[in-house]
Amino acid sequence: MRAAVVTTFGGPEAVEVVDVDVPEPGARQVRIKVAAAALNPVDAGVRQGVFGGAGKRIGLGWDVAGTVDATGVATSWSVGDEVVALDYGMVKPLGTHAAYVVVDTDAVAKAPTTVDAVHAATLPLNALTAVQALDLLELAPGASLLVTGAAGAVGGFAVQLAAHRGIPVTALAREGDEELVRSLGAAHFTAGDVEPGSVDAVLDAAVIGERALAWVRDGGAFAGVIPQAEPASERGVRTGAVEVSADGARLAELVRLVEAGVLTLRVAETYALEESAKAHARLGEGGVRGRLVLVP
């Protein structure tokens, strides 16, 4: 089968699409025939060597939508099930940017019935990151939340999920994105002029760090999206960062929110798997609203 990998680190040109063996599922695993797989900034980080793995063949891709093609023992999934899943891992021989991928059964959820596979492939990584970051904040309905990078994939899901929970959101984004973030449910908009200590919590999807921490009231909460990269606590503000985990049960809840119209799945462009390097180059240009999706 064909798969996108890197064997040396660098720019988009480091991405190779090569022939590899079709993986076999073990116990409590399933093999998914990939219909679509999103490209995320973490893939660019892997490609650049941010997470190590020099000298190895490293597969790319975390998100997948497709059809169960084979199962190991001790799984409730059946061949033919249409599913989505998160294939967690920075340095792995194969990722979801491939014709087939093997994942643990508890990372899998039924695919949403209201969207196609290309859109479904944008859900797992970014929506799980958003909901798990909101969980860290432990906000009650009515608490005020500022989301940085609110027009991005994680930020956009965070806005929608928080608004659904009855949490009024101030969206921080570029001026030209105000209409977009308000359509996602933001109650307020800012392009960067925020009073210190003015909100109960910040979800820092744009990785602003200490400047965003200053916007949280004394005793509030701050959640980042890069593990161990959150700013140190000050003024009694509780700080933390989400390390996304594969959670099929939670992913199933997010799928139901897609089907209920609560979550919007945004696709910017699609590329053939063989065009993986081209997709990486487009990601590097920035300004993408929605996800780039690879189709084998």
Q: Does a structural domain hold residue 247?
A: no
What single DSSP character describes residue 7? S
Residue 89 CB coordination number (10 Å): 16
H helical segments located in 89-207: 117-120, 124-137, 153-164, 178-183
Q: Does a structural domain hold residue 203?
A: yes
Give the pLDDT mean for 14-29: 97
Q: Is 0.75 surpassed by the pTM of this model? A: yes
- pLDDT (tens digit per residue) in 31-89: 999 999 999 999 999 999 999 999 999 999 999 999 999 999 989 999 999 999 999 99
Same domain, 172 and 203: yes
Same domain, 237 and 137: yes
Same domain, 84 and 40: yes
Same domain, 143 and 234: yes
Q: What is the pLDDT of residue 248?
A: 98
CA distance 273 to 1: 11
% of residues, the chain, pLDDT over 70: 100
| pLDDT value at 90 more than 90 | no
CA distance 149 to 172: 6
Q: Does a structural domain hold residue 248?
A: no
- pLDDT (tens digit per residue) in 96-109: 999 999 999 999 99
Same domain, 184 and 172: yes
Same domain, 116 and 150: no
How many distinct structural domains can be found in the chain? 2
CA distance 33 to 104: 14
Q: What is the pLDDT of residue 184?
A: 97
CA distance 36 to 236: 44
Give the pLDDT mean for 188-198: 94
Q: Does a structural domain hold residue 255?
A: no
CA distance 254 to 260: 10
CA distance 38 to 118: 8
Q: CA-CA-CA-CA torsion for 180, 181, 185, 191, nearest 10 degrees?
A: -140
Q: Does a structural domain hold residue 253?
A: no
% of residues, the chain, pLDDT over 90: 97
Cβ-count burial 183-209 (b if 16+ within 10 Å, e if not): ebbbeebbeeebeeeebbbbbbbbebb
For residue 267, list its beta bridge partners: 291
Give the pLDDT mean for 270-296: 96
Same domain, 195 and 220: yes
Same domain, 11 and 82: yes
| pLDDT value at 117 more than 90 | yes
DSSP3 helix / strand / coil % (the chain, rounded to 5): 30, 30, 45
| pLDDT value at 8 more than 90 | yes
Give the pLDDT mean for 276-280: 98
Same domain, 110 and 58: yes
Q: In this structure, what CATH number is given to the domain that contains residue 84?
A: 3.90.180.10
Q: Helix (H, G, I), strand (E, B), or coil: what is residue 169?
A: strand
Q: Does a structural domain hold residue 111?
A: yes
Same domain, 15 and 58: yes
| Average pLDDT in the chain | 97
- Find the domain containing 100 and state its range: 2-123+265-295
192 touches 137 (CB < 8 A): no
Q: Give phi and psi for 230, each to the nearest 5.
A: -70, 150
Q: In this structure, what CATH number is given to the domain that contains residue 160?
A: 3.40.50.720
Q: Give phi and psi for 32, each to the nearest 5.
A: -110, 130
Q: Does a structural domain hold residue 246?
A: no
Give the pLDDT mean for 197-205: 98
Q: What is the pLDDT of residue 287?
A: 86
Q: Does a structural domain hold residue 186?
A: yes
Same domain, 109 and 170: no
Same domain, 116 and 137: no
